[in-house]
Structure 1
């Protein structure tokens, strides 16, 4: 019988504190019993690590769709990919590749059943080849967030030569959103990120026209140079001073896609966080749209959105990069690193390789 481990929340960082590796604890736990009728024993292959999990480290998340993690209890993440290890369910066979969102446990092996609060969907292996982790990025909620954010809130007009600026541009959503904006007809795409390596990735490997390192360059001046006619769409992943700088250079009737605000996730403020009175005045005067974007509100468009993403990926029109932490024991440190910008593309944890076991 294989060993089983889990990751629990050992202590909280405090609503104003930065997450630390010591907030997490990796410990041995019992291997699940054989599945009863209607149950499946799942082996975790990959875990998704997401900034939105930060609010679950507090006693109150401040949002209605996610509850806080309990101290001493196993962490439930926003997504995972696994393999059916044993099955006592007519819909699943050992070896099936499966994925789930919102309640995937940070453990090597677990029992799933319909009442567990998470849908367990089978994955077509032909779509992912030897990269099942793609389900956690371009072919999952990350990809849908990027696509539907650009389409539903960005509302780009092909041929209009509109300029799109993306903050957190080398992250999971940002790197996809920039490529999708080009595919949707943007005239120019500018990325803002935190290192020269990330800037080189955006303009060298991807289709970004320019990239700004906010740690070493003057963002306001660089935007004036690269966007002389102003900015029409802003995909906002970070909030804070960077977003105020970008929005101040947006044109009348432009659109902000409010995707994330990672710069303030360690602060005790409501979401979306308040903005300055001067920025509120600019938004009102120029009739800039800026309201919360939550991909779950567009569930009716998930199927068609995934079909589009699958086509683009198969045609080589979208590139996907991952930052991979090896081993379940690295899940906590991967989360801490990601919150500090240590990732390029999607941050994931590789827990195990596939096996083809029989009951």
Structure 2
């Protein structure tokens, strides 16, 4: 009957990195028996996503996420759970479910099935043995990579295009690079922050070349790894890395503006402003750079998920994951991910709450 939750304890403060002390793990009441139209859910996996860092500011800078207040239950972007009790016809005990967004960081909870802020979807029986795949590949993470590349990358097989991915060792970045290669890019180059990650991207995930931004002159490294310039840039980080990439992009090329992790700790609007120099480069070379939000492509979700699953089942797409154990591990795992502490792993980071 025990139950635990993670609450938001305090703001990091303007322009500060998050710390474990910004969170608190608390014992809480057992989930109540569901009333009419409700169901009780046991959390199995929690998704760790850099984007929720915005909710730790006084203003998230985006309209689709609200800021947390001290004492609030942490709401992540994704999770997987099992229905344990149900007063809803379409759900039965044992069903596995996921939301579109907003999974609470709590071991067990009750929810209304018609809550528009917590829209639930059943997970296919074929994924019962690997339900975490809906968080790393067959959910918003995989769809962001797939739709970003296919809808904004303008890749033409046989066109000898080069794609660069920043944050390439992350959950979305590693998939974006693989998908760009599957989509027809001649050359895919990943930017990340350690030699171990670089090696994994090349030897295990099929990247043609990599750049360790902590050890390299990024501008020179890009000239060497992208001798024909850059045609597609999947931007997960922003900041000076992205400015360096954009300076080497070809005319009529495309930036897929997915994330800006380099400035998530800054009190800036999203997407953050860029320098006049970079604005001039974008204008002179007719580079497209528009904000990408996967939720605007919901009509393409089903075909995207079908293609991702086909690639995965066919062995063409690999899905690296790193799983932390226990809900109490979530704050430290999230903070380490955001601050690059102890991070040598490639891929999606998850918390296993219950097996």
Measure how far apart 1:129 and its partner are. Answer: 5.0
Instruction: Please give the residue correspondences for 1:10-159 in structure 2 after superposition, counting only pairs within 5 Å.
Output: 10-116=9-115, 117-126=117-126, 128=127, 130-159=129-158
Measure how far apart 1:153 and its partner are. Answer: 0.8
Which residue matches 1:350? Answer: 352
Which residue matches 1:178? Answer: 177
Q: Contact 2:9–2:22 at 8 Å: present in 1 too? A: yes
**SS state of the match for residue 78, structure 2?**
strand
Alignment RMSD: 1.0
Measure how far apart 1:306 and its partner are. Answer: 0.8
Q: How many aligned positions are there?
A: 351
**SS state of the match for residue 101, structure 2?**
strand
Q: Contact 1:80–1:101 at 8 Å: present in 2 too? A: no
Q: Contact 2:6–2:105 at 8 Å: present in 1 too? A: yes
Which residue matches 2:206? Answer: 207
Which residue matches 1:357? Answer: none
* Cα distance in 1 between the residues matched to 2:279 and 2:139: 34
* Cα distance in 1 between the residues matched to 2:346 and 2:20: 20
* Cα distance in 2 between the residues matched to 1:146 and 1:61: 22
Gaps (5+ residues) in structure 1? 354-359
Gaps (5+ residues) in structure 2? none
Q: Contact 2:100–2:121 at 8 Å: present in 1 too? A: no
* Cα distance in 2 between the residues matched to 1:115 and 1:69: 23
* Cα distance in 2 between the residues matched to 1:95 and 1:10: 33
* Cα distance in 1 between the residues matched to 2:110 and 2:30: 10
Measure how far apart 1:225 and its partner are. Answer: 1.0
**SS state of the match for residue 190, structure 2?**
strand
**SS state of the match for residue 305, structure 2?**
helix
Which residue matches 1:285? Answer: 284
Q: Contact 1:34–1:86 at 8 Å: present in 2 too? A: yes
| Residue range with higher mean Cα deviation, 338-347 or 25-34 | 338-347
Measure how far apart 1:70 and its partner are. Answer: 2.1
* Cα distance in 2 between the residues matched to 1:74 and 1:229: 49
Q: Contact 1:7–1:24 at 8 Å: present in 2 too? A: yes
Instruction: Please give the residue correspondences for 1:189-200 in structure 2 after superposition, counting only pairs within 5 Å.
Output: 189-200=188-199
**SS state of the match for residue 139, structure 1?**
coil
Query: Can you list the C-alpha shifts for 1:135-177, whole angstroms capped at 9, x where unaligned?
Result: 1011000000000000111010011010000000010000000
Q: Contact 2:323–2:351 at 8 Å: present in 1 too? A: yes
* Cα distance in 2 between the residues matched to 1:195 and 1:125: 38
Measure how far apart 1:270 and its partner are. Answer: 1.3
Q: Contact 2:327–2:352 at 8 Å: present in 1 too? A: yes
Task: Give the alignment's TM-score, normalised by structure 2.
Answer: 0.97
* Cα distance in 1 between the residues matched to 2:256 and 2:167: 13
Q: Contact 1:108–1:328 at 8 Å: present in 2 too? A: yes
Which residue matches 1:254? Answer: 253
* Cα distance in 2 between the residues matched to 1:196 and 1:101: 35
Measure how far apart 1:221 and its partner are. Answer: 0.8
Q: Contact 1:125–1:132 at 8 Å: present in 2 too? A: no
Measure how far apart 1:204 and its partner are. Answer: 0.6
Task: Give the alignment's TM-score, normalised by structure 1.
Answer: 0.96
Query: Can you list the C-alpha shifts for 1:24-56, whole angstroms capped at 9, x where unaligned?
Result: 000000002211122111000000111110110
